[in-house]
C-alpha cells in the first residue's frame, strides 16, 4: 500500500523536478529550487533516524558542520577533491555520532532533545572561538572560503552555472529516499519501528535498542554530513553559524515533523511546503524583516503538533491511496451482556 | 590564580547563581505541575527584559519600577499561551498516552515565534540599560559586591520563600499541588484543572517578569539570549531536582559558581561550553533525567 502511494506522489514530483530547470531556465529559480532540494535532503537525513526511532534531535546540524569543515579543509589543505572529502567528512561525522549517540540514546524524549542541543552548541561555540586547532586554520566565526579553481571542474566540485548543483542535490535526494526505503524494508527498519512503538517491549523480545539506534544514527550522520559538504561547495563558504547552528537543526526537524515523520516522502513534502513559503515571505516583505520566516515555521510547527501529528502526508495518503475498509469489529453479544 | 581573584569569582558566581535559580523557578513549577518542559522559558525572560528596556528607553522608567508592568504582563502572556496553545494538547492527552516530546515541540514553536518576533521588531543589536545602580558596589571584607546583582540574589531567595509559603498555605497553592499529584483526582474533588494550569503557567512566567527587570541593569539584551538562559534553567532544574523550589535555588548557586570559576580559565564566550558540558554529564549520570523521580 505504502509503496504504491510513495510512487503515486513521488514519481510526478520527480518528473517535475527533472523538467523544471528546462522550463524555467532562470539562475535564481534554479538556485532556489536547489535550496528546496537541499532542505528536503537534510530533512530526509534527519528523518532517517529521528523519524523512525521517534526521538527528536536538535543537534543534527553538528554533523553537517563536521563534514562540511572536513571537506573544505581537505580541499584547501591537501588539495583533495571535495567528492572524496565529502565521503571522508561523512564518515568522520558518523564516527563522532557513535560515542555521542551511545551516551545520549539512553535518555528519553525531551532529555534526549536537550542533550542533543547542548552537544551541537558546544561544538559550534568551540569552533566560533577557535582560530586554529593543532595547526589547522579554522578561522573561528569568520568561516572558511573555498578558493575558486576557475571555470567548471568536476573534480573540484565547482561549476559555472547553477544547473549541475541542482542535479547533484536532486540525485542525492533520490539517493537518501532509496536508502530510507531500503532501511524501512530491512531488519533495521522493523527493529526501529518496534523500538519506537515500545522500547521496553522490543528489548524484551531480544532487540538491542542501543545497537540499532546507533546504526541508524551513524547512517543518518553520514547522510547529513554529505549534505553539509554539499552546502559548503554550493556557496563556496562555510561558517559555524550557518552550517552548524541550531537554526539548521530546527529547520530539519520542523520540515520533517510538518511533512510526516517516519515516511519516505514526508520530509520532502515538508521542505516543499515550508521553504518556498519562507522564501516568498522574505522576498515580498523585504530582507530587512529578520526572522519572519522563522515565526511562520513556529506557527506551522504548533499547528502541525496540535492538528496533524502525523504530518501533512497523512491526509494526502488517505486521499490518494485510501486504505481498504477495515472489516467491522466482531462483537460477541454474550460477552457484552456478561459484563 | 590568587585567593582574592578566586573568592571574587565565587562571590560573583553565587550572586549570579541565585538569579539563575530564580529564573529556573518558573520552569520547575510548570514542569512539576503540568509535566510540560517549556522550551520557550528563556524566550519569556528575554521578552520581560525587552519590556523593561522599552519602558526605560521610551519613558525613562527605572527598571525596578518597571516590575509593576513586567510581572502582570508576563503573567498575562503565560496565561494566554497556556490557554490557547498548550491546553489543546493536554486535552488531547487525557485520552491518549502522555507525549512529552509533543509538548516540547509545541513550546519550541512558541520559542521560534517569540524570539523571531522580537528579532524582527528590534533587530539583532545588543542593547543595555545604564541606571544609577549599574556600577554601584559595596565592599565586604575588601571585595566589591555589585548592588544590582545583590538585589537580584536577594529577590531570588525572597521569591523562593514566598512561593513555597504560598503553595503550602493558600487555597490556590493547595489546588496547584493537588493537581500536580493527580490531575484526575483533583478534577473529581472539584478543582478547576484547566484554570489551575493557566494560573500555574502564568505564575511561572510572572516570576520571569520579575527577574527580567532585575537582570536588565547589568545584563546586555539581545533577541538570542533566551535560549542560553533556557538551557541554563533546564540545567538548574536537573541539578536541583524537579519541582523542588529550594532545589532550584541550590542548583542555580552551583551552576553560577561553576561557570564563574570556569570563566577564570577561559574566555567568557567559551565558558558557555562548560555549562553545556555540565548539562550533558549530569543528564548522563541520571539517564532517566527528571522523570526518574516522577
pLDDT tens-digit readout, B162-174: 988 888 888 888 8
C-alpha cell at A207: 532487540
Q: How many domains does chain B have?
A: 1
Residue A297 with chain B: CB contacts under 8 Å: 112
Is A129 at the interface with chain B, CB within 8 A? yes
- Mutation pick from B39, B84, B116, B275 vs chain A, by most beta carbons of A within 10 Å, is B116
Residue A54 with chain B: CB contacts under 8 Å: 101
Contact A230, A132 (CB under 8 A): no
Task: Name which of A246, A247, A175, A221 is nearest A66 in CA terms.
Answer: A221
Please indicate whether residue B177 or residue B141 has the higher confidence score (pLDDT). B177
Q: What is the β-pairing status of strands A136-137 and A132-133?
A: antiparallel
* ipTM of model: 0.81
Handedness of CA A72, A74, A75, A78 (dihedral sign): positive
Q: What is the pLDDT of residues A22-53, one digit of tens each?
A: 777 777 778 888 888 999 999 999 998 888 88
Among A55, A125, A298, beta carbon nearest to B112: A298
* Cα A306 from Cα A300, distance rounded (Å): 10
Residue A299, classed as helix, strand or coil, is: helix
DSSP secondary structure, B57-68, as one string: HHH---TTTTHH
Among A290, A301, A305, beta carbon nearest to B120: A290
Give chain A's residues under pLDDT 50: 1, 335-339
Q: What is the pLDDT of residues A300-328, one digit of tens each?
A: 888 888 888 788 887 877 777 666 655 55
- Mutation pick from B97, B102, B110, B113 vs chain A, by most beta carbons of A within 10 Å, is B113
- Listed in sequence order, the residues at least 6 apart from A327 whose beta carbon sits closer than 8 Å to its beta carbon are none
Task: Name which of A53, A75, A45 is nearest A222 in CA terms.
Answer: A45
Is the predicted pLDDT of residue B100 greater than 90, yes or no? no
Tally of helices (H runs) and strands (E runs) in chain B: 12, 2
Query: Residue B51: which CATH number?
Result: 1.10.3470
Residue identified by cell 535526494 is A173
C-alpha cell at B246: 529550594
Residue B119 with chain A: CB contacts under 8 Å: 290-291
Among B100, B112, B280, beta carbon nearest to A119: B280
Residue B108 with chain A: CB contacts under 8 Å: 58, 250, 298, 301
Task: Name which of B110, B111, B109, B86 is nearest B99 in CA terms.
Answer: B86
Surface-to-core class of residue A164, CB atoms within 10 Å of its CB (0-12 exposed, 13-18 middle, 19+ buried): middle
Cα–Cα distances in angstroms (integers) from residue B205 to residues A51, A169, B183, in the given order: 32, 44, 21
* Cα B217 from Cα B35, distance rounded (Å): 33
Task: Name which of A311, A312, A273, A279 is nearest A293 in CA terms.
Answer: A279
Shortest distance, CA A131 to any CA of chain B (angstroms) = 13
Residue A56 with chain B: CB contacts under 8 Å: 101, 104-105
Q: What is the DSSP letter of A158?
A: B
**pLDDT > 90: percent of chain B:** 10
Ordered alpha helix ranges (H), A129-265: 163-185, 187-197, 199-204, 209-235, 240-244, 246-259
Region of B101 (left: φ > 0; alpha: ψ -120 to 50; beta: rest) is alpha
pLDDT score of B44: 93
Is the predicted pLDDT of residue B152 greater than 50, yes or no? yes
Query: Is the CB of A306 less than 8 angstroms away from the CB of B272?
Result: no
Residue A264, classed as helix, strand or coil, is: coil
Among B280, B287, B289, beta carbon nearest to A118: B280
Q: Residues A317, B113, A305, CA angle at the centre, nearest 5°? A: 30
Query: Is the CB of A299 less than 8 angstroms away from the CB of B113?
Result: yes
Is B293 at the interface with chain A, CB within 8 A? no
Among A118, A291, A305, beta carbon nearest to B279: A118
pLDDT score of B205: 92
Backbone angles phi, psi at B139, to 5 degrees: -110, 125
Contact A194, A248 (CB under 8 A): no
Among B89, B112, B115, beta carbon nearest to A301: B112
Task: Name which of B16, B25, B13 is nearest B162 in CA terms.
Answer: B25
Query: Is the CB of B280 less than 8 angstroms away from the CB of A115?
Result: yes
C-alpha cell at B151: 538585589
Query: Is the CB of A121 less than 8 angstroms away from the CB of B279?
Result: no
Parent domain of B82: 3-293
Q: What is the pLDDT of residues B3-13, one digit of tens each?
A: 777 888 888 88
Q: What is the pLDDT of residues B227-277, one digit of tens each?
A: 888 888 888 887 777 777 888 888 888 888 888 888 777 766 677 777 778
Is B117 at the interface with chain A, CB within 8 A? yes
Residue A156, classed as helix, strand or coil, is: coil
Q: Residues A36, B112, A196, CA angle at the centre, nearest 5°? A: 75
Is B121 at the interface with chain A, CB within 8 A? no
Q: What is the pLDDT of residues B17-30, one digit of tens each?
A: 899 988 999 888 88
- Listed in sequence order, the residues at least 6 apart from A80 whose beta carbon sits closer than 8 Å to its beta carbon are A74, A88
pLDDT score of A289: 63
Residue A302 with chain B: CB contacts under 8 Å: 85, 106, 109-110, 113
Q: What is the pLDDT of residues B56-99, one digit of tens each?
A: 888 888 888 888 888 999 999 999 998 888 888 877 765 444 46
Strand partners, A132: A137
Among B112, B115, B269, beta carbon nearest to A125: B269
23-42 of B, contacting A, C-beta below 8 A: 37
Residue B100 with chain A: CB contacts under 8 Å: 109-110
Q: What is the β-pairing status of strands A237-238 and A144-145?
A: antiparallel
Is B285 at the interface with chain A, CB within 8 A? no
Shortest distance, CA A81 to any CA of chain B (angstroms) = 33
- Mutation pick from A59, A114, A288 vs chain B, by most beta carbons of B within 10 Å, is A114
Shortest distance, CA B27 to any CA of chain A (angstroms) = 14
Mean pLDDT to the nearest integer, B175-201:
86
Amino acid at each position: 500500500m505504502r509503496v504504491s502511494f510513495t510512487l503515486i506522489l513521488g514519481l510526478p514530483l520527480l518528473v517535475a523536478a527533472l523538467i523544471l530547470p528546462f522550463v524555467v531556465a532562470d539562475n535564481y529559480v534554479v538556485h532556489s529550487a536547489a535550496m528546496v532540494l537541499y532542505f528536503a535532503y537534510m530533512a530526509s537525513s534527519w528523518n532517517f533516524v529521528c523519524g523512525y526511532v521517534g526521538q527528536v534531535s536538535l543537534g543534527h546540524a553538528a554533523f553537517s558542520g563536521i563534514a562540511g569543515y572536513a571537506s573544505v579543509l581537505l580541499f584547501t589543505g591537501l588539495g583533495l577533491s571535495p567528492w572524496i572529502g565529502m565521503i571522508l567528512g561523512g564518515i568522520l561525522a558518523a564516527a563522532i555520532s557513535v560515542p555521542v549517540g551511545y551516551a545520549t540514546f539512553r535518555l528519553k524524549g525531551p532529555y534526549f532533545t536537550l542533550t542533543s542541543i547542548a552537544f551541537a552548541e558546544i561544538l559550534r561555540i568551540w569552533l566560533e572561538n577557535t582560530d586554529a586547532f593543532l595547526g589547522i586554520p579554522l578561522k573561528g566565526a569568520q568561516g572558511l572560503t573555498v578558493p575558486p579553481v576557475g571555470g567548471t571542474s568536476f573534480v573540484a566540485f565547482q561549476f559555472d552555472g547553477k544547473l549541475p548543483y541542482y542535479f547533484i542535490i536532486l540525485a542525492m535526494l533520490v539517493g537518501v529516499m532509496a536508502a530510507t526505503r531500503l532501511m524501512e524494508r530491512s531488519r533495521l527498519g522493523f527493529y526501529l519501528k518496534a523500538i519506537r512503538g515500545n522500547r521496553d517491549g522490543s528489548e524484551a523480545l531480544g532487540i538491542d535498542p542501543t545497537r540499532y539506534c546507533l546504526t541508524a544514527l551513524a547512517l543518518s550522520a553520514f547522510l547529513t554530513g554529505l549534505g553539509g559538504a554539499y552546502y559548503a561547495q554550493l556557496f563556496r563558504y562555510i561558517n559555524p553559524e550557518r552550517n552548524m547552528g541550531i537554526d539548521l537543526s530546527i529547520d530539519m526537524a520542523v520540515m520533517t515533523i510538518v511533512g510526516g515523520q517516519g515516511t519516505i516522502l514526508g520530509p520532502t513534502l515538508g521542505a516543499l511546503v515550508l521553504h518556498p513559503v519562507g522564501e516568498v515571505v522574505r522576498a515580498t516583505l523585504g530582507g530587512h524583516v529578520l526572522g519572519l520566516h522563522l515565526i511562520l515555521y513556529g506557527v506551522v510547527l504548533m499547528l502541525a503538533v496540535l492538528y496533524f501529528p502525523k504530518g501533512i502526508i497523512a491526509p494526502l495518503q488517505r486521499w490518494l491511496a485510501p486504505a481498504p475498509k477495515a472489516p467491522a469489529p466482531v462483537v460477541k453479544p454474550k460477552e457484552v451482556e456478561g459484563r | 590564580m590568587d585567593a582574592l581573584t578566586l573568592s571574587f569569582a565565587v562571590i560573583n558566581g553565587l550572586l549570579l547563581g541565585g538569579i539563575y535559580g530564580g529564573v529556573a523557578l518558573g520552569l520547575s513549577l510548570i514542569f512539576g505541575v503540568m509535566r510540560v518542559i517549556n522550551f520557550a522559558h528563556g524566550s519569556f525572560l528575554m521578552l520581560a527584559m525587552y519590556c523593561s528596556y522599552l519602558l526605560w528607553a521610551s519613558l525613562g522608567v527605572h527598571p525596578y519600577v518597571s516590575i509593576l508592568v513586567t510581572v502582570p504582563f508576563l503573567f498575562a502572556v503565560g496565561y494566554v499561551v497556556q490557554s490557547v496553545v498548550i491546553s489543546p494538547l493536554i486535552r488531547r492527552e487525557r485520552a491518549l498516552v502522555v507525549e512529552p516530546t509533543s509538548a516540547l515541540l509545541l513550546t519550541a514553536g512558541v520559542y521560534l515565534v517569540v524570539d523571531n518576533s522580537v528579532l524582527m521588531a528590534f533587530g539583532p543589536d545588543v542593547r543595555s540599560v545604564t541606571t544609577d545602580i549599574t556600577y554601584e558596589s559595596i565592599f565586604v571584607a575588601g571585595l566589591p559586591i555589585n548592588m544590582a546583582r545583590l538585589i537580584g540574589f536577594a529577590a531570588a531567595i525572597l521569591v523562593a520563600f514566598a512561593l513555597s509559603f504560598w503553595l503550602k498555605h493558600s487555597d490556590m497553592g493547595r489546588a496547584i499541588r493537588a493537581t500536580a499529584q493527580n490531575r484526575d483526582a483533583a478534577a473529581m474533588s472539584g478543582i478547576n484543572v484547566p484554570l489551575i494550569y493557566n494560573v500555574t503557567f502564568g505564575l511561572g512566567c510572572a516570576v520571569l517578569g520579575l527577574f527580567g527587570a532585575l537582570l536588565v541593569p547589568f545584563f546586555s539584551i539581545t533577541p538570542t539570549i533566551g535560549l542560553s538562559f533556557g538551557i541554563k534553567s533546564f540545567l538548574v532544574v536537573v541539578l536541583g531536582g524537579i519541582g523542588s523550589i529550594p532545589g532550584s535555588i541550590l542548583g542555580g548557586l552551583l551552576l553560577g559558581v561553576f561557570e564563574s570559576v570556569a570563566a577564570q580559565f577561559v574566555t567568557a564566550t567559551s565558558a558557555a561550553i562548560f555549562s553545556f558540558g555540565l548539562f550533558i554529564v549530569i543528564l548522563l549520570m541520571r539517564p532517566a533525567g527528571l522523570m526518574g523521580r516522577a
